[in-house]
Amino acid sequence: MSSSLRFKMVEEAFDRKAVAVATPSERPEKYYGELVFDSRKMFEYLPKDAYEALQTAITDKTPISRQLADIVAEGMRRWAIDNGARHYSHWFAPLTGGTAEKHDAFIVHDGKGGVVEEFSGKLLVQQEPDASSFPNGGIRNTFEARGYSAWDISSPAFILDQTLCIPTIFISYTGESLDYKTPLLRAINSVDRAATAVARYFDPEVKHVISYLGWEQEYFLVDESLYSARPDLVMTGRTLMGHESAKNQQLEDHYFGAIPSRVEAFMLDLEIQCHRLGIPVKTRHNEVAPNQFECAPIYEETNLANDHNLLLMSVMAETARRHNFRVLLHEKPFKGINGSGKHNNWSLGTDRGAMLFAPGRTPMDNLQFITFIANVMAAVHRHNGLIKASIMSATNSHRLGANEAPPAIISIFTGSQLADILAKIASSDTTDLSDLKKKAEYSLGLSQIPELTLDNTDRNRTSPFAFTGNRFEFRAVGSSANCASAMIVLNAAVAEQLSDFHSKVEARLAAGEKLTDAILSEVRILIKQSEDIHFDGNGYSEEWQQEALRRGLDCETSAPRMFDAYLAPSSVEMFTKTGVLSKVELEARNEVKWEIYTKKIQIEARVLGDLALNHIVPVATRYQSTLVENLVKLRDLLGERGSQIGAGDLEAIEKISGHIDVIRKTVHEMVEARKRANGIADEREKAIAYHDNVVPAMETIRYHIDKLELLVDNEMWPLPKYRELLFIR
């Protein structure tokens, strides 16, 4: 692109006006969920018996019969057609990230040369997408290209772009999961079972424990013409070069600041789309960095919340285009500027309405609260490396440990109040316990469990995993990630821990201990055991890195090596015991993780090499020769005096050639490193080679290009600069 084109694009972007949004005349309560086949629509479109049978299956998590499936499919089809749908699609989340759909029209031959629209229970419940091109880590070789997608009745069907989308799991012919939803559902069930057993100590009527998720989605918006003038953004989702602009987030004037009108129009449009799809988005605001924003819904049951986040990410991309924006979900689109995360607010609650991470009114409620908190801390401590691996990716690795986001070490922030309570419980001795026993007998007053009124004013933004009053906020999750990855590990790890806890308490009860004693003793052990995961200090500090190492926390920083945590004996044991993932599945999924890591870096390296040699170096050379020309002319005209005047030019010429030389040399080395890495057959080793040898070369190249950006005539610079990309008007 020539620089005059760059200026044209900038002008176009800056002149753009907000796109008018067709606001519905009704209030949200009228159109909320209108595109969802929810229980209201089921009631309307299904015979009464079928409606009731389906509701029971959903609540009890039991499979439905083929006969029922046929009736439901017919009702669903009628509803979908009444609402303008022409196609249907199984909708699932493959391991590549994002969502996949394969659309089929409802039409079938009517036997008279025409067609009718039909949809059978068979097509609703199960399909065999020819999915050999989805990654499967070798589970399903391409000869056996069959994979099944099967309806997840706990997540309602919806209409997107005139297509009836049916949320499904995606599994191989031999039954191994090829997606995120399958293990997520297993993890949710496993934490339900384990937590229910423990929650019954406090309320024998509890039948289920529900896992809740409230995500906060951060993102950047960039004007579409500037976006399309940056091949790196188009192809990799982030800028591979670009010098920081003089002003970015130093003034912190963007956070919670006024939202520009173009953006506001986009947000309103997005909100309306989301509400029609039953996604309860509620909060929207500017984020720390320029052009960075956030939206968050009201929390929901984890499986549904996760489907809603996946759906939001596609709706966002589409809505942004309508407003001449591109949405960037990459964790680190711009160097030197805050990256984007997706905080996962996570909690457990009983079907009786108790929130298990919230203190309650009675000492017994509070013992329950402390019990669940201590178990979460123990689980996170036990599996801190694995939990970190669950959020790691080629893209999120730019964000973690980059002195602005949580470090690449998992620790838990509790706040001083909870820390005091935990310390008090841990240090209370046996005398206290006998005391407690006496008191417990008549009033259930537990001296170790004080009245709790927690405020979460001392929230620590540097912690990757923070207790925030009634939930944990897992902040290390990346903005482009499928939250399921983190939720699978977290729920499964906590399930394992709770079930161990339950066994130990049972053993004490069998030995004749009183319930509160048994629980308190085990809680005390857990608090002491998992002390090392608790850290309320500054997670960005150098000292914390040293301290974490001393505490034996996982401090690995290389993404491909972090994935090893999935195959650690403790992880395999945890996943198998909880029934969430088998060893074969874990191995296959890691292959996919390494493969995706390699491919992402490979693409970035190619784009960077191309931009460096074909866009930047030629422009820098051209500018350099204008300096040379100037210098020669000065010397011709003025001799020695000309050389003196031209000294600055000479210095610039030398600097420019210095940078060009390093860029050329490093691009060559990077290409060689890539060739060597590509020759490695083992996916893990290949990913490590990319990490160790290709990534550092990319950083060197970028450094020198960014230096050139400061030296070369602004008029000539071919790519939109940060200051142009980052300030929407």
Rounded Cα distance, 205 and 201, in Å:
10
CB atoms within 10 A of CB 189: 18
Q: Which is nearer to Mg ion, 216 or 604 (CB)?
A: 216
Q: With contact defined as beta carbons under 8 Å apart, do 196 and 302 qualify?
A: no
Residue 214: CB minimum distance to ligand ADP, A: 3
Return the number of other C-beta atoms located less than 10 Å from residue 23's C-beta: 9
* Of the candidate residues 196, 217, 286, 347, the single one contacting ligand ADP (CB under 6 A): 347
Tell whether residue 678 is a contact of ligand ADP (CB under 6 A). no
| Out of 75, 121, 214, 290, the residue judged to bind ligand ADP by CB under 6 A | 214
Please report how close the Cβ of residue 468 comes to ligand ADP at its closest, in angstroms: 7
Smallest distance, ligand ADP to C-beta of residue 390, A? 18
* Minimum CB distance to ligand ADP smaller for 214 or for 385: 214
- Compute the least distance from the CB of residue 462 to ligand ADP, in Å: 14
- Residues in the interface with ligand ADP (CB under 6 A) total 14
Q: Is 287 in the site for Mg ion (CB under 5 A)?
A: no
243 or 284: CB nearest ligand ADP: 284
554 lines the binding site for Mg ion (CB under 5 A): no
Q: Shortest gap between Cβ of 463 and Mg ion (angstroms)?
A: 15
Q: In Å, what is the CA distance from 472 to each residue of 210, 380, 475, 490?
A: 15, 11, 9, 11
Which range binds ligand ADP by CB under 6 A, 258-266, 341-349, 375-383, 620-628?
Answer: 341-349
Distance CA 313, CA 221 (A): 13
Helix ranges, 126-216 (H): 181-199
Q: Is residue 297 part of the contact set for ligand ADP (CB under 6 A)?
A: yes
Which of 192/500 has CB closer to ligand ADP?
Answer: 192
> With CB under 5 A, what is the number of residues at the site for Mg ion?
1
Tokens of 76: 């669903």
Is 345 a binding residue for ligand ADP by CB under 6 A? The answer is yes
Site string (579-618) toward ligand ADP, x via CB under 6 A: ----------------------------------------
Report the nearest approach of ligand ADP to the CB of residue 9 (Å). 34
The helix (run of H) or strand (run of E) holding residue 221 is: strand 209-223
Which amino acid would we find at residue 461? R
Closest residue to Mg ion using C-beta atoms? 216
Say how far apart CA 235 and CA 607 lie, in whole Å. 8
Which candidate, 673, 705, 678, 675, places its Cα nearest to that of 692?
673
Is 32 or 212 the residue whose CB approaches ligand ADP more closely?
A: 212
- Whether the CB-CB separation of 85 and 158 falls below 8 Å is answered with no
Select from ligand ADP, Mg ion, none the partner in contact with residue 297, using the beta carbon and a kind-dependent cut-off of 5 to 8 Å. ligand ADP
Q: Contact letters (x/-) for Mg ion, 185-224, by CB under 5 A?
A: -------------------------------x--------
> Binding of ligand ADP at residue 415 (CB under 6 A)?
no
- Strand partners of residue 342: 217
Question: Which residues lie below 8 Å from residue 507, measured CB to CB, with a gap of 6+?
Answer: none
Closest CB 549 distance from Mg ion, rounded Å:
31
Q: Are strands 412-413 and 465-467 parallel, antiparallel or unpaired?
A: parallel
Is residue 148 close enough to count as binding ligand ADP by CB under 6 A?
no
Phi then psi for residue 130, to 5 deg, are -75, 90
- C-beta of 343: minimal distance to ligand ADP in Å? 6
Measured in whole angstroms, how far is the alpha carbon of residue 297 from the centre of its chain? 15
The stretch among 209-217, 244-252, 311-319, 386-394 that binds ligand ADP (CB under 6 A) is 209-217
Cβ distance to Mg ion smaller for residue 216 or 224: 216
Distance CA 585, CA 547 (A): 35
When CB distances to ligand ADP are compared, the closest residue is 214
DSSP string, 526-578: HHHHTGGGB--S-TTSHHHHHHHHHTT------HHHHGGGGGSHHHHHHHHHH
Local structure of 356: helix, strand or coil: coil
Structure letter (DSSP) for residue 139: S
What gap in Å lies between CA 378 and CA 383, rounded to an integer? 9
677 in Cβ contact with 693 (< 8 Å):
yes
Closest contact distance (angstroms) between CB of 346 and ligand ADP is 6
Give the Cα separation of 718 and 708 in Å (integer).
Answer: 12
| Contact call for residue 307 and ligand ADP (CB under 6 A) | no
In the block, residue with structure tokens 């970015």: 248
Question: Taking CB within 5 to 8 Å according to partner kind, which of Mg ion, ligand ADP, none is near residue 62?
Answer: none
CA–CA distance, 179 with 206 (Å, rounded to integer)? 31
| Partner from ligand ADP, Mg ion, none contacting 347, C-beta within 5 to 8 A by type | ligand ADP
Q: Residue 266 binds which one of Mg ion, ligand ADP, none, with CB within 5 to 8 A depending on kind?
A: none
- 359 touches ligand ADP (CB under 6 A): no
DSSP element (H, E) containing 385: helix 384-390
283 binds ligand ADP (CB under 6 A): yes
Sign of CA dihedral 486, 490, 492, 493: positive
Q: List the one residue from 216, 331, 500, 522 that touches ligand ADP (CB under 6 A).
A: 216
Q: Is 311 helix (H, G, I), strand (E, B) or coil?
A: helix
Q: Which is nearer to ligand ADP, 156 or 297 (CB)?
A: 297
Shortest Cβ 283–Mg ion spacing (Å): 6
525 binds, among Mg ion, ligand ADP, none (CB under 5 to 8 A by kind): none
Which of residues 299 and 594 has its CB atom nearest to ligand ADP in the complex? 299
Q: How far is the CB of 487 from ligand ADP (least distance, A)?
A: 11
Residue number with CB closer to ligand ADP (345 or 598):
345
Amino acid in position 703? Y
Compute the least distance from the CB of residue 58 to ligand ADP, in Å: 21
Strands 300-301 and 209-223: antiparallel
Is residue 384 within 8 Å of 548, Cβ to Cβ? no
In the chain, how long is the greatest CA-to-CA distance? Answer: 105
Whole-number Cα distances in Å, 151 to 348, 698, 718? 25, 43, 49
Contact track, ligand ADP, 106-145, x by CB under 6 A: ----------------------------------------
Shortest separation between residue 596's beta carbon and ligand ADP, angstroms: 28
CB of 216 to Mg ion, least distance (A): 5
Stretches 292-300, 402-410, 704-712, 713-721: which one binds ligand ADP (CB under 6 A)?
Answer: 292-300
Could you tell me if 214 and 309 are in contact, meaning their C-beta atoms sit under 8 angstroms apart?
A: no
Task: Specify the amino acid at residue 340.
Answer: S
Contact positions with ligand ADP (CB under 6 A) in 456-475? 470-471
Asked if residue 201 binds ligand ADP (CB under 6 A), the reply is: no
List the Cα angle 463/467/472 in 5-degree steps: 95
Rounded CA separation 621/278 (Å): 55
In the complex, minimum distance from the CB of residue 524 to ligand ADP, in angstroms, rounded to a whole number: 26
Residues lying near Mg ion in the complex (CB under 5 A)? 216
The footprint of ligand ADP (CB under 6 A) covers 212, 214, 216, 283, 296-299, 345-347, 355, 470-471
